Amino acid sequence: MKVDTGEIEKILSSLAETPSRILTASQGLEASRLHNRLDDETWSANDILAHLRSCADVWGKSIMAMIAQDHPTLRYISPRTWIRKTNYPKLEFGFSLDAFTRQRAELLAALESLAVEDWSRGATFTGTTEGREHTILSYAQRIASHENEHCQQIEALSNSL
């Protein structure tokens, strides 16, 4: 699998921007407002951040396993299942953002240290679609794309709060 260095740079940039996008969108808003939902169906900014932290835990751990091991077999864990084992939704927004930012710095340091060919390192995931294969590149792309969508939600919410 040929890995494009331009794509790697784009992913790293997107992953690096996520914490600052969330900070910018939340600045100046009272903490209580960041926990408010507009309606029963819409997540609050804090709910979205809690979800992103859960995704970062699960997907980041998978990336670290792909870095450390030669093509491991990993059991897929849903971030929505994982979040129920945390207290993330109840935490204060600023505290969660600080923790997310520190965790992101660790992931970026690991990814930035990789040689281009290391982005092809992969894993087989079980507990989901049988034999599902992912690489560091595909998981990092997944995180970046997913976070972009949720950053847009937080940005839209902050404009309406």
pLDDT per residue as tens digits for the range 28-52: 889 888 999 888 889 999 999 999 9
Q: What is the pLDDT of residue 160?
A: 82
pTM: 0.94
Q: Which residues constitute the domain of residue 118? A: 5-160
pLDDT per residue as tens digits for the range 104-149: 999 999 999 999 999 999 999 998 765 589 999 999 999 999 999 9
pLDDT per residue as tens digits for the range 3-30: 899 999 999 999 999 999 999 999 988 9
Q: What is the pLDDT of residue 1?
A: 62
**Counted domains in the chain:** 1
In this structure, are residues 15 and 111 in contact, taking their beta carbons and an 8 Å threshold?
A: yes
- DSSP-based three-state secondary structure for 158: helix
* Domain CATH code at residue 52: 1.20.120.450
Question: What is the chain's mean pLDDT, rounded?
Answer: 94
Q: What is the pLDDT of residue 3?
A: 86
Q: Which of 56, 140, 45, 141 is nearest to 99 (CA)?
A: 56
Percentage of the chain lying above the pLDDT 70 cut: 97
Q: Which of 7, 26, 2, 44 is nearest to 142 (CA)?
A: 7
